[in-house]
Every structure is written in C-alpha cells, then in structure tokens.
Amino acid sequence: MQKGSINVQSENIFPIIKKFLYSDTEIFLRELVSNAVDASQKLMTLSNAGEYKKEVKNLKVEVILDAKKKTLTIRDHGIGMTQDEVNKYINEVAFSGAEEFLEEYKDKDPKSIIGHFGLGFYSSFMVSSKVQIQTLSHKDGSKAVQWESKGDPTFELKEIKKKDRGTDIILHIDKDSKEFLEENRISGILNKYCKFLPVDIEFGTKTESIDDPKGKKDKDGNVEKISIDVPNIINNPSPAWIKKPVDLELEDYKSFYSELYPFTEEPLFHIHLNVDYPFNLTGILYFPKLKNQIELQKNKIQLYSNQVFITDSVENIVPEFLTLLHGVIDSPDIPLNVSRSYLQSDSNVRKISNHITKKVADKLSGMFKKDRKDFESKWDDINVFIQYGILTDEKFHEKAKPFSLLKNSKDEYFTLEEYKEKVKAAQTDKNDKLVFLYSHDKEEHHSLIESANKKGYDVLIMDGPLASHYISKTEQDLGASFARVDADTIDNIISKEENIPSKLTKEQEESLKPIFEEIVEKEKYTVQVESLSETEKPVLITQSEFMRRMKEQQAAGGGGMNMMGVMPEMYNLVVNTNHPLVSKLITAKGKNQKVLAKQALDLALLSHGMLKGKDLSDFVERSFELI
C-alpha cells in the first residue's frame, strides 16, 4: 500500500475548492459523469485507431445510488487508469503554480477564476466525507488499484481485485449533503446536465410492458403483456443539433423541440447552426410564437459544451434580443470558469454572438424574399422579437430594415419604404413632414379609426409591449412623426388647410368653454373649442402625444423620469362647434343645458373607457330619463 500527500504545495486546496464551488454544489455530478463519458470516448478513439484490439462494448456510464450505505457511485467501462496514472492525474493536481494561484485568488470573487485548471474530480469533495477511486486500466497486464481520501491532503493507494475495465468513483456522502442520497434529486440533476451526453447514462430501472415470451394469449387471442424492469437510460446520446441539416427532416426538428420543451406549442421555424472556423459552434435555435409575452420567453436557450449542459442564462453569449429564442447552443470554445457557471469576456464569445446575430438576420431576410405572404402570416408572432433586436442591437437594426413590417388596421403589411410611399400624398403636413397615424387598440379606437379612414387616412396598429420605444426609433430612421389617433383631432394632426368655418358666432363659442369647465376636473382637462366637421363627434377626448409617451416611458421605468415624480393624467376636451348637438346645447336653457353638456361629455368618456364608478351609474340613470 502506498501512502502520501497530494502534491498541491499547499494544505488549503480543499477549503478553496469548497469556497469557490459551494454556490453550485450539484455540479459535482455533472463533472464526474462528464469525466466518465470522456474515459469511454477515449477508449472508443483508441479502438477506432487500432491501438486497442479487444472488443469494445457496454460503454454506458452507470450512476448507482445506495441510500443505506450512503454512497453514490459513478461507474464507467472506459479507458481506466494505472497506478502511475492515478499518481499523475489525481495526486499531482494538474495545474501550474499552485502557490501563486492560491495567493493570487484567495481574496477574489470566484467569478474571476477562469479556466486555470479543471477541478472535475475534486468537486466530489464538496458533498463527500470520503472518496474512493477503484480503477483498472485498458492496458495489458494492468493491475487494479484503489485511491482513497477524506478530503484532506493525505491519501491511500493500494492494489485491489477488479474484474472489469474502467473506473468507479465512490462517494461517501457526508451528513450535510443528505439530499444527494435521494433518488429524485439525483434524477433531476442528471436530467438537467446530462440529458444529451454522447454515451448512454444509466440510472436505476424502469418498468416496460412486453409480449409474453411464452406466447400466452388472452381471451381475444392476443398475446398477453407482461411487465419487466429494464435499465433506465436517462439521455439521448445523439441529439438533433450534432447531426447535419441534410440528414434531418422538418419533423425531426419539431420532435427535438418537443424533447427540449414538452407540452409547448410548435415553434414557427428554426435555424440550424454549424460552424467549425474560426470557432466551433453547433446548435438549433427556434422561433417560438412570441405574441406579446417577452419575459415569459426569456432564458430558454440552453448552452452546452460538448453536449454537457452548462447554463440557460446566455445573456453574455448572445445579444439580449436573441434570448427570446429557444433551443440549444453547443460550443467548446466558450471559456468558462472553474465551476462552468460564469462566462469569460473573450474574443470568441463576441465572434459567436456576432455570427448568431448574422445567421438570424439572414434567415429572416431569406424567408421574406422567398415567400412574403408566409412571412406576413408569421409577423404578429415575431414582430416583438424584431422590434427588440432593432432597439437593442445596431448590427441587427441595419440588417432588419428591409424586412421590418408595419401593419395597418385593414391587416395589410408594408415595409417602411412602402408605407412612406403609400401615405405620402395624404399624410404630409404643412411642414412637408410625414405623419403616421396609429392605434394601440383596434377595438378601443374603432370609431376614431373609422373617422380617419373616411377622411382618406391610413391607421397603423402598434400594439406590442415595445411599441412606444419602437415608434421613437422609427421616427428617427424615417424622419416622420407618429401620432396616435386619440392624440388630437385628425384635422389638427395633419393640417394643410384652414379650419372648417364655425356655425357659431364668436360670442357663442366663448360661452361654450365655461359650460364644460363647470362639469370637468379643471386640473385634469383643458377645454378647447374647435370647428370640426358635422360628422365628427360633438365632444372628443384627446391627450398630447408628447405627454402620453412621457407617461408610458415613466411607467416602463424610463431612466431619470421617475425623479420628476408621478406625472398627472392630463387630457384635452375638444368641443366641436359644428355638431348639431352643440348648437342645441347653446340655445338650451337652465338645467337642460347642463344635462346636455354632461351627457355629451360622458359619451365621450365612455367611448374611451374612462367613465367609471358613480359617474357611470349617473350616466345610465340620466340616459333612461332622457329616453
């Protein structure tokens, strides 16, 4: 038997390991299973090269839980180790300058430890009071050995009897880590990190129903079924993203999406990534049906390194807007820290990010050019994504301009340049500036949209969660202005000619203002008297485009605007002097005048969904009386 000290030139390596990996304790199992898979693949590589002549079979990795003995074993049938190799790879911790490293990082945040060494096996001491390695090398004439340590710099190494080639890592789970003796906990970790490892991972058994081997039949003449226990393989060793696109059909991509996200709606389309220069990158990204649910869709891209799951927080690898996509990215070239939990800022990360952005933009551009009608049919589901990209990523913004669409109230779609041409004649104001009318709610603004359409104007539907920000960006791009249909009277928004003559005298117009000022909250409404078309409503409620956008941005956390305090709701109450009801109101006497004014005001408020509570009850009672 050999005894000695692990050659790390410092006795505080184990406290360092626990300190830096403690926040991510469960990764010990990922590391050990990954090592077992590596050992299995190395043997296959030697076999394929003709350097290992014996039969290679049963390369699965087994995870064995024994709650009674309080052990968790990770077993492989791979390359194994000799005693000299155990000394080299386990006892002489393979990283350079141990003392300098420990001194440099002893007071620093664990995030700053980037790729200095692979703890791998040593992560097992985070959950174990004792760890044993039992291993037999694939090399002819090798003897099996057992290495054992209790998590301090001392170890024991001795020869043992072991029949099968490969390595068993036996963890004696300590009292503070009893959760790792629970079957559900282990199963959850394996499903999270090892679901797509390239070698079969077996954990426990599952029950399957098969035909009775004796051919016994039931009363209907059918072969009876019997239940048997079979090994439970928890992973898919050959996921879609490692295959070539030419070898996959559309159904294969859909099936893989269901494997990643069970019980979710089918995606709209996908992008298959496959790059080997200047970096390695594979993966499949899916466009889900976003609608307007931004936050619900985030953190669905899974990052892998050689089919080992790393994280689903990929903000540092892909631009923010791409986090709305779903799917898988796999790259061994993304630098990770010791626990693989944090990403290093690195030129490869930037290159990968730029490449993915380009691939997504190229895919969307290709779809638009190939089949515009199909692209338009998907627009309501992807416009939030495209707007997000335009607002947050300048490179994507430039590429997206040709396929970024606007949709009007008639469900027609236009590129930005097409729409400029469409409305140029009718919607250029007296300052030769294009005015784009829009609504955030087609139903709420139905009458206003109808009124605009009758006047020959077109109205866009801008109803997404990013609409106000996207409108500001588009105004800069096009040199146009956007105005919501309830921002002002249409004739004032797009004014080329003088106002329509008023049917009222100057004195009558002046008498209207105090009538309405008496029945509204003066601090909330500004009463305006305007001569509009007879077909326009007698009273309209509008709100300054500028003030409304300020409020929307404040509600969305618009930077320093919250320092200004909560902005009050302020509206314009526009009285149309040319409507017959207003003429009637002018000549009405006493109480009747106030009743007519209040009724006209309440109808205007009702049309905007602003009449509530006691005011709504009073309106209903008054309406019955008037009838």
Split at pLDDT 50, 70, 90, the class of 100 is: very low
Q: How far is Cα 148 from Cα 4, in angstroms, rounded to an integer? A: 11
33 Rama sector, left if φ>0, alpha if ψ -120 to 50, beta otherwise: alpha
pLDDT of 22 reads 46
What's phi and psi for 530, nearest 5 deg? -135, 150
pLDDT of 170 reads 98
Split at pLDDT 50, 70, 90, the class of 95 is: very low
Split at pLDDT 50, 70, 90, the class of 140 is: very high
pLDDT of 625 reads 83
pLDDT of 277 reads 81
Give the list of residues 6+ apart from residue 421 with CB closer than 8 angstroms, or none.
Answer: none
pLDDT of 340 reads 54
**Nearest to 601, CA basis, from 527, 506, 508:** 527
- pLDDT: is 161 or 554 the higher one? 161
pLDDT of 299 reads 65
Give the list of residues 6+ apart from residue 120 with CB closer than 8 angstroms, or none.
Answer: 31, 32, 34, 35
Q: Domain 404-497 class?
A: alpha beta
pLDDT over 70 at 559, yes or no: no
**Nearest to 584, CA basis, from 592, 623, 621, 529:** 592
Split at pLDDT 50, 70, 90, the class of 113 is: very low
Burial string for 487-496 (b: 16+ CB within 10 Å, else e) reads bbbbbbbbee
Identify the helix (H) or strand (E) that includes residue 61: strand 61-66
Residues 214-225 have a mean pLDDT of 78
- Average per-residue pLDDT in the chain? 84
What are the structure tokens assigned to 591, written together?
Answer: 């109480």
pLDDT over 80 at 2, yes or no: no
Hey, is 619 helix, strand or coil? helix
**Nearest to 619, CA basis, from 520, 605, 585:** 605
Q: Which of 12-26, 252-266, 291-305, 524-538 has the lowest mean pLDDT?
A: 12-26
Angstrom distances, CA of residue 152 to CA of 6, 24, 103, 128: 9, 21, 19, 12
Q: Which fold has domain 2-204?
A: Heat Shock Protein 90 (3.30.565)
Decide if 240-377 and 498-543+557-627 have a common fold. no
Split at pLDDT 50, 70, 90, the class of 622 is: confident
Q: How many CB atoms lie within 10 A of CB 371?
A: 11
Q: What is the tens place of the pLDDT at every residue in 410-422?
A: 999 999 999 999 9
Q: What is the tens place of the pLDDT at every residue in 441-498?
A: 898 888 889 988 988 899 999 988 888 889 989 988 888 889 898 887 776 777 655 5
DSSP conformation letters of 333-397: TS-BBTTS-SBPP-HHHHHHHHHHHHHHHHHHHHHHHH-HHHHHHHHHHHHHHHHHHHHH-HHHH
Classify domain 498-543+557-627 by CATH number.
1.20.120.790
Q: How far is Cα 188 from Cα 183, in angstroms, rounded to an integer? A: 9
- Residue 545 and residue 487 in contact, taking contact as beta carbons nearer than 8 Å: yes
pLDDT over 50 at 297, yes or no: yes
pLDDT over 50 at 118, yes or no: no
Split at pLDDT 50, 70, 90, the class of 587 is: confident
pLDDT of 551 reads 74
The residue ranges of every structural domain in the chain are 2-204, 240-377, 404-497, 498-543+557-627
Residues 304-323 have a mean pLDDT of 85
Q: What is the second-level CATH architecture of the domain 240-377?
A: 2-Layer Sandwich (3.30)
SS3 content of the chain, % helix, strand, coil (to 5): 40, 20, 35
pLDDT of 198 reads 93
Q: Which of 118-127, 174-183, 584-593 has the lowest mean pLDDT?
A: 118-127
**Nearest to 567, CA basis, from 594, 582, 581, 549:** 549
Q: How far is Cα 483 from Cα 476, in angstroms, rounded to an integer? A: 14
Residues 129-153 have a mean pLDDT of 93
pLDDT of 409 reads 94
Q: What is the tens place of the pLDDT at every residue in 495-520?
A: 655 567 888 888 888 888 888 888 88
pLDDT > 70 in the chain, percent:
86
Identify the helix (H) or strand (E) that includes residue 170: strand 166-173
pLDDT of 14 reads 62
**pTM for the complete prediction?**
0.79
Give the CA angle between residues 587, 590, 592 to the nearest 5°.
70
Q: What is the DSSP letter of 434?
A: B
Please name the residue that has the structure tokens 């302020």.
570
**Nearest to 415, CA basis, from 464, 454, 365:** 365
| CA 447 to the chain's CA centroid | 37
Q: Which of 174-183, 321-330, 429-438 has the lowest mean pLDDT?
A: 429-438
pLDDT of 615 reads 87
**β-strands 481-484, 435-439 pairing:** parallel
Q: How far is Cα 131 from Cα 73, in angstroms, rounded to an integer? A: 10
Q: What is the tens place of the pLDDT at every residue in 232-252?
A: 999 999 999 999 999 999 999
| CA 367 to the chain's CA centroid | 22
pLDDT of 131 reads 95
Q: Which of 254-258, 430-434, 553-557 has the lowest mean pLDDT?
A: 553-557
